[in-house]
Amino acid sequence: MNDHMTLSKAADHAREFLDSLDSRSIAPIANVSDLRSALFKPLNDAGLPADEVIDDLVRDTRDGLLGSTSGRFFGWVIGGVLPVTLAADWLTSAWDQNAAIYATSPAAAAVEEVCGEWLKSLLGLPASASFGLLTGTQSAHTVALAAARNKLLIERGWDVNTKGLMGAPRMRILTGAHRHESVLRSIRLLGLGTEALEIVDVDASGRIRLDSLKVALQAGENEPAVVCLQAGDLNAGVFDPFTEAGRIAHDAGAWVHVDGAFGLWAGASEHNRYLVEGVGAADSWATDCHKWLNVPFDSGFVFVADPEAHKSALTQDASYTIKVEETRDQMEWNLEWSRRSRGFTVYAALRNLGRSGVAELVERCCGHAHRLVTEIGDLDGAHVLAEPQINQGLVQFTSNEGNHDRRTDEVIAKIVASGEAWFGGTTWNGIRAMRVSVCNWRTTDEDVDRAIACVRGILAGV
C-alpha cells in the first residue's frame, strides 16, 4: 500500500467518525480494561503494514473516545474543530515543518507572525505587544509570569537569568478566589513557591474586590507583585473589572497578568466587548485557540506588553542556528526548540471565519449556553446557580430530602451514562453544581433541544 492509499484510508475513517457524532454515545463505552486488552498487544518484532496499523488503531480506540467534538458535549471548556482547521492540521502534519526558527520553515514563521498580529487586533490588545504561540494557556501563563518575574526583579537590581532565585527579593502573586489552578502550577514551576500566592476577596458575583486589592497591595509596598486577573472564570465565566483593578495594580507598581483562556474572545464580539473593557492596559495575557477558535489541540497564545521583558526571559542561542535578517525566530518567544507549526490552523480558522465569523461563533455559543442553563434550571427539581453572561453557567439539582449535592452528582452521572449529552460537575461556593460550557461551532439549536430533553427525561425518572 502506498502513501496515498494509507492517507485515503485515514480520511475515510475520519469521515466515518465525524458522520457518527450525532448517533454515537458521547460518553466512552469502553472501560480501562477493555482498552488495555485491545491495545496492549505484545510489541511486534516485525513491522506491520501501515493500513493494518491504522485499521487496528481505529478499531481498538473507537469505544474509548470521548465525544468531546460533538455538539452535545458541554463539559470543561473544550472547543471543537472547524472543518477548515482539521484540513489545515492534516496539511501541517504532511508538510512536517519544524517551526523553531525562520530558517527551519519560512512559511511557518510568516504565518505565525501574521496570526499574532491579527489576534492582537481581534482581541483588542496593544499592537506593540509581543507574542508567542504555545501549547495552551498553561504554558502561556508560564511564559508571561517568567517575563513578569524577571522584569520586576531586574527593577530591584536582581537578574534572575544569571543569579537564579536564591536570595532574590520575595515575590507576591495576588489573585481572586476563582483563579484557574494552572496559574498555581506556573508559579511553582517558576520557583516562586505557592506561598507567594495571596487570595484577594471577591464580591458576590465572583469579581475581585477593588478595596481588598488596594489594601493587599499596600501591605507589601515596594515588594515585586503580580496581579492575576480573570477574563472568564471556569465556572461562571466571571470577568474582573480590568480598568479599575489594572489602575490600582499599576499605581502600586505591580505587573498585571490576565488569564483569558476563553474569556478574552469576548473582545472579538461587539456585543460582549464591554466585559473586557480596559483589558488592553494589562502587561500580559494568556489565551487559547483550541477552545473558542475551534482549532485542534494544542494551541494557545501569550502576549506581553513589554517585548524586551518577554524576550529576555526566553532568549537563547546556539552555534548551529541560522539567523536571517529582519525575520522573526519563534524560538525567542516560546518555550520550545523543535515544535509543530501550529500557526497554520490558527491562520486557517481566522481566514475562514473572518472578524464577523469569530464574533458570530462567540455570540452563538453564548446564546446556546444561556438557553441550556435557563431552560434546564426551569425544570422541576433544577435551579439556576449562575446564569451565563458568556458561555459558562451553573445549575443545581435539588432533592426533597435536602441533599442537593448528592442529587446534583447523581443527575450528572445519569446524563453522562445516557450517552445523549455530557456535562461535568464542580464545587462552586461550597456547593456541587453542574457546569455548562459551550464553545463548539458544531452545537446547534437541535443539540440544545436534545440535551434539555435528556435532562427533562432524567428528572422525570423516564
Cβ at position 110, least distance to ligand PLP in Å: 25
Cβ at position 136, least distance to ligand PLP in Å: 3
In the complex with ligand PLP, which residue's Cβ is closer, 259 or 283?
Answer: 259
Cβ at position 335, least distance to ligand PLP in Å: 13
Cβ at position 384, least distance to ligand PLP in Å: 21
In the complex with ligand PLP, which residue's Cβ is closer, 259 or 375?
Answer: 259
Residue in the shown chain whose Cβ atom is closest to ligand PLP: 136
In the complex with ligand PLP, which residue's Cβ is closer, 160 or 200?
Answer: 200
Provide the residue count of the chain: 462
List of residues contacting ligand PLP (CB under 6 A):
76-77, 136-138, 180, 182, 234, 259, 261-262, 288, 300
Closest residue by Cα to residue 358 from 267, 436, 278, 233: 267
Peptide bond into 445 cis (omega under 30): no
In the complex with ligand PLP, which residue's Cβ is closer, 180 or 407?
Answer: 180
Q: Rounded distance, CA 68 to CA 59, Å?
A: 19
95 touches 326 (CB < 8 A) = no
In the complex with ligand PLP, which residue's Cβ is closer, 77 or 86?
Answer: 77
Q: Rounded distance, CA 202 to CA 18, Å?
A: 42
Whole-Å CA distances, 368 to 254, 438, 456: 38, 7, 17
Cβ at position 283, least distance to ligand PLP in Å: 17
Peptide bond into 34 cis (omega under 30): no
What is the DSSP pairing of strand 225-230 with strand 255-259? parallel
Cell numbers representing residue 274 in the block? 464591554
241-265: buried (b, 16+ CB within 10 Å) or exposed (e) per residue? bbeebbebbeebebbbbbbbbbbbb
Cβ at position 76, least distance to ligand PLP in Å: 6
Which residues, including other chains, have CB under 8 Å from residue 370's CB and lie 6 or more apart? 387, 388, 393
CA atoms within 13 A on the CB side of 226: 31
Cβ at position 185, least distance to ligand PLP in Å: 9
Phi and psi torsions of 3, nearest 5°: -50, -45
Cβ at position 390, least distance to ligand PLP in Å: 12
Q: How buried is residue 32: exposed, middle or buried, by Cβ count under 10 Å (0-12/13-18/19+)?
A: exposed
Q: How buried is residue 74: exposed, middle or buried, by Cβ count under 10 Å (0-12/13-18/19+)?
A: buried
Determine the longest span between alpha carbons in the chain, in angstroms. Answer: 72
Cβ at position 368, least distance to ligand PLP in Å: 18
Cβ at position 223, least distance to ligand PLP in Å: 25
In the complex with ligand PLP, which residue's Cβ is closer, 255 or 262?
Answer: 262
Cell numbers representing residue 343 in the block? 500557526
In the complex with ligand PLP, which residue's Cβ is closer, 76 or 118?
Answer: 76
Sign (positive/negative) of CA torsion 119, 254, 240, 287?
A: positive
In the complex with ligand PLP, which residue's Cβ is closer, 257 or 432?
Answer: 257
Which residues, including other chains, have CB under 8 Å from residue 43's CB and lie 6 or more apart? none
Cβ at position 312, least distance to ligand PLP in Å: 24
Extended beta strands in 20-145, E state:
130-134
In the complex with ligand PLP, which residue's Cβ is closer, 112 or 259?
Answer: 259
The DSSP 8-state label assigned to residue 325 in this structure reads T
In the complex with ligand PLP, which residue's Cβ is closer, 175 or 341?
Answer: 175
**Residue 411 carries which side chain, given as an amino acid letter?**
V
In the complex with ligand PLP, which residue's Cβ is closer, 238 or 353?
Answer: 238
- The number of angstroms, rounded, from the C-alpha of 326 to the middle of its chain's C-alpha atoms is 32
Cβ at position 178, least distance to ligand PLP in Å: 9
Cell numbers representing residue 91 in the block? 496539511
Sign (positive/negative) of CA torsion 109, 114, 115, 119?
A: positive
368 touches 360 (CB < 8 A) = no
In the complex with ligand PLP, which residue's Cβ is closer, 97 or 391?
Answer: 391
